[in-house]
Amino acid sequence: MEIPGEKDWLADYTAKFGEAATRKALEYGDEQRGFPGFRNFAQRFRLVMVKDAAESGGRGQKAFSLRHSDGSLDEAVVADAVEFTYQISLKHNVAIQEVIISSPEYWATEEFLRSFVDRQVQEWGATVNRTKRPRTNIYGSHRLIFSTDDPRSGNWNVSHPITLNSRQLITNVGRGGTLDLFRKEFIRPEFREGLWTRLVESGEKCMNALADYDKLAGDRYTAETGRLIGVDATGVSYAFPRYMMLDFLVQPIFAEEGMLADVDAVYNADGERIDTRFILQRGEERFPGTVKDWRVVLIEPNIGIGLWDRLAIREEYYFATTADQPDWTAVGLNARIVLRDLAQAGADYLQAVLK
């Protein structure tokens, strides 16, 4: 499991420093607090996202390209990033995070991508150009819910496979994104098993790490808050995550050494786009790339309840409206996985307190 490069700036820092010192620290860094500043951050990451820690769903977020294409620092953008961060920090904590470009062009079948284009037109009135240059940039992310009916087993149940895709870097539905079930048949055959396996593995690692929070950081939590974490009536730590929706970005890992320069279109004799190929660059040379594995990056764990109904709508579409024989029992299947786990937790609790 990987996480993006990130540094936080707290509202308490701004309140303590005042305006001038805060702006200076945001730009040049504050060694005492381990904050590198935007100028130093730009040396590692060209594109960063500044996020309001109190918001979700893409609200209070903005991307900044800190360097020009030639690698030099973009002074105007750095100044904008400092100003944006400062204004948020007057009230809320701020996260400055590496932006990882992920796209359905990397993994999806042509049928799925054509469906995405159609839905963008129908739902948002937006034009998506995948054939002529300059082509429309398409960004994507994935969500999976992990829950458990037995916290002591170490086993996790996976549900709510979601792919969110958009013309914007923030892929949320409220900002022009298109949500769909992340069905295996939507993945190009050569990537199908490998990508799904990596997503599940990354999710399990994340949940296991969260489950170990009280063991690894419980003493620090108590020292900072003056409170013990404690356990519930069944003996399970209150730090244990029985349920979580995890947000992921995926990128291909190539067998060849080089930087991904383009995702090129492949056409048949009739001029119809039928496939995609990766173009890598090393120095001045460009050449095709071969995917050997997948990088899966955890963006954040969150509650994700707001996406349950969106996914249920897509279940209705696939299982009840497109099939020759509608299968209404399949609608709500993902929700039932989580509800079963939560019901078991309730039953265990009642058994413990009614002994």
Beta strands 285-289 and 47-52 are unpaired
pLDDT tens, position by position, 174-205: 889 999 999 999 999 999 999 999 999 999 99
CA-wise closest residue to 214 among 244, 234, 238: 238
Report the pLDDT value the prediction gives residue 261, as an integer from 0 to 100.
86
Asked if the peptide bond before residue 134 counts as cis, ω within 30 degrees of 0, the response is: yes
Report the pLDDT value the prediction gives residue 69, as an integer from 0 to 100.
64
| CA atoms of 79 and 91, how far apart (whole Å) | 20
Residue 239 — very low, low, confident or very high, per pLDDT cuts 50/70/90? Answer: very high
Report the pLDDT value the prediction gives residue 206, as an integer from 0 to 100.
96
Identify the residue whose tokens are 């060209």: 46
| CA atoms of 220 and 206, how far apart (whole Å) | 20
Residue 3, token pair as written in the block: 């996480």
CB 238 within 8 A of CB 267: no
Q: Where are the beta strands (DSSP E) in the chain?
A: 6-9, 47-52, 61-65, 94-98, 139-147, 157-166, 178-181, 243-254, 259-267, 273-282, 285-289, 291-302
Residue 169 — very low, low, confident or very high, per pLDDT cuts 50/70/90? Answer: confident
pLDDT tens, position by position, 266-302: 888 888 888 889 999 887 899 999 999 999 999 889 9
Residue 126, token pair as written in the block: 């937006």
Report the pLDDT value the prediction gives residue 274, as an integer from 0 to 100.
84
Termini Cα distance of the chain = 41
Residue 223 — very low, low, confident or very high, per pLDDT cuts 50/70/90? Answer: very high
Asked if residue 58 has pLDDT above 70, the reply is no
> What is the arithmetic mean of pLDDT over 93-118?
94
Report the pLDDT value the prediction gives residue 265, as an integer from 0 to 100.
86
